[in-house]
Chain A
């Protein structure tokens, strides 16, 4: 479904992402972990069109590197951000409406029917009911994250990229989020790429795991095998408990 071929991105002298290649199957949950500065978010920014580097990126066989972020959204690739920055001058519902309308208007990829009928259903699916009319600026972090996620889902994606969906949340909230992500995958058939620091969450929910280090793929494979690899342990020590 998604394929990266020799993707490289330099910031000055520094290779933030270096010759990275991997391929994603439809319906897969794909985890990305690695120390801070390993290039995880840069990979997301390259796929979603916020950054442009060298190498090739394909989505459904179509080359997407070089496209603008909104064009990639219209192909059915949605994303969230590490620090949620929703539209603070709007209510929760108004945030979702932006995704619902602009994510689909002018869409060039195949139109996929969403697994939800209207926004009310989506709102209750993610657990924001009762907060529809709240100005987003008054929400706590967890609800802001849900608003950003739900807005991304409102664009009717087939692939969603989650940048530290669990970061900064309480244990209970992180658990709820993880369950939600698993439901997105199992019930809705969404393909997911997730960047996460919490290794237990990754081993629990991912089909495959990529460990990035200094912009390169250190290991890629079945999560339990990967995390027990001595090379990976060495790389992540001090990170996985952070």
Chain B
């Protein structure tokens, strides 16, 4: 697949070493204004201002907070799926570990929940790397199998892990909320939760943005584009994959930690198939390898899922059908569709086609 649109808007490789001089076609400097940067900033600005409009509705605010949590996870997962080509199926596992790490430390060890964020992030990163060490030397399909196995054993492990304080089948509940100064976060006032979630979501956006648009990003995109060629140019597949898996696990564990304190409950249920499928749809719908598409996909899925609540058990059926439709109609998701539309307009406007006309690429 082609991740890049046209030169100047989205690009990857390195912007030249010092003294080398920039050339036409070099990666634009970070934060140069293009669609990716524009959409990211736009998204953050809208989210920052949205409470002015919907701040009165705790219900809507809740949906937004949940969207931001899963938006961050979608971005982290897409870093692996869409950019690095690492087929990790254990992403929800990193999330659950982040949640458990933070919950267990605050409930069993009395640690301040804020520290739990660091603990959750660390748990996600460490486990991701530990899982990566044996699996990333293997071919793609085995990475998928191994991470799926990890995801599958995690739930029974957490259930039997009552002795170390996982709470067994029931999990851990309630979980201490955050406090700032003397103020304790409560469910009836969503505003503080919202802005903490936004802060964490922005962390995910920034980390992913710079991971993708940096020299490091160029290396894993290169591996994804053409693995043998990338290796022949001196890139260590193992090292790069391990690093990106660590980054992804870190962000996912971070969001998991917040989730635990926000929902005040964490149980093996988070490892259920439903959550996994939701996450798949978020990434697919937003656009695999189309930053920040997967985050936008998360908002759509969370709100859609809420609107479809009255269908109860049929909800998953509808979502299943949605996956089929997306894969068939818009395999590159919303962002892919935007790309196509943009190219269509550009070609219309600029026919006869100029040599720099892209879009035929994929």
Contact = CB atoms under 8 A, between A and B. Distances in A.
Interface of A: 48, 50, 68-71, 73-74, 78-79, 81, 85-107, 118-120, 123, 132-135, 137-138, 148, 151-152, 154-155
Contact of A102 (B21, B235, B356): B235
A98 B355 contact: no
Given A94-B26, A97-B26, A101-B14, A135 B361 contact: yes
Given A89-B2, A148-B229, A98 B14 contact: yes
A101 B361 CA distance: 26
A50 B231 contact: yes
B228 A81 contact: yes
Contacts of A78: 232-233
18 contacts: A50-B231, A50-B232, A69-B228, A78-B233, A88-B225, A88-B361, A89-B2, A89-B221, A90-B218, A91-B13, A93-B26, A97-B14, A99-B233, A123-B23, A132-B23, A134-B356, A135-B7, A155-B234
A91 B233 contact: no
Interface string B192-234: 0000000000000000000000010011011001101111111
Contacts of A135: 2, 4, 6-7, 358, 361
A149 to B, nearest CB: 11
A155 B233 contact: yes
B234 A94 contact: no
A211 B34 CA distance: 53
A48 B233 CA distance: 11
A87 B13 contact: yes
Given A134-B355, A135-B4, A97 B13 contact: yes
Given A95-B13, A98-B219, A73 B233 contact: yes
A78 B231 CA distance: 10
B332 interface: no
B21 A103 contact: no
Interface in B2-17: 2-4, 6-8, 11-17
Given A70-B234, A89-B12, 8 more contacts: A70-B236, A73-B232, A90-B218, A95-B13, A133-B24, A133-B356, A137-B361, A155-B234
Nearest to A107: B234
Nearest to B223: A87
Given A88-B2, A88-B361, A135-B358, A97 B232 contact: no
Nearest to B83: A89
B352 interface: no
Interface residues of B, number: 46
Contacts of B261: none
Contacts of B2: 88-89, 135, 137
A102 B229 contact: no
B11 A74 contact: no
B360 interface: yes
Nearest to B227: A85
B20 A92 contact: no
Given A81-B229, A94-B13, A104-B234, A133 B21 contact: no
B174 interface: no
A92 B219 contact: no
Interface in B319-362: 355-358, 360-362
Given A68-B236, A87-B229, A103-B234, A98 B361 contact: no
A85 B361 contact: no
Contacts of A154: 233
B17 A94 contact: no
B11 A85 contact: no
Contacts of A92: 25
A70 B14 contact: no
Contact of B17 (A70, A101, A151): A101
